[in-house]
Chains A and B, each alone.
Chain A
Amino acid sequence: MLQVLLNSLVYASMIAVIAVGVALCYSILRFANFAHIQFAVVGGYLTYSFAAIPGMPLPAALALSAVATGLIAILVDFLVFSRLRDITPEGKMIVSWGVALFLRSVVAIIYGGGARVFDLSYDVVAVGDAVFTTLDALVVVVAAVLMLLLHLFLNFTRVGSGLRALASNADLAVTRGIPGDRLIKLMWFLSGALAAIGGTLLAFETRLQPNMDLIILLPVFAAVTIGGLSNVFGAVLGALILSLAQNLLIYIDFGALLGGESWQIPTQFRDYVAVLALVVVLLLRPRLSPLAGR
Chain B
Amino acid sequence: MSLLSVRDLRLSFGGLTVVNGVSFDLEPAEILAVIGPNGAGKTSAFNCVTGVYRPQRGSVTVDGRPITGLPPSRIAGLGLARTFQNLRLFPAMSAEDNVRAGLHRATRQALWDVLLHTPRYRRSERESLEQARHWLDVAGYEGDPGQPAGTLPYGEQRRVELARALAAGPRVLLLDEPAAGLNHAERSGLVRLIREVRSTGVAVLMIEHDMGLVLELADRVAVLDRGRKIADGPPDEIRTDQAVIDAYLGDADAAA
Whether A associates with B in a native complex is: no
Q: Which residues of chain B have a CB within 8 Å of any CB of chain A?
A: none
Q: Which residues of chain A have a CB within 8 Å of any CB of chain B?
A: none
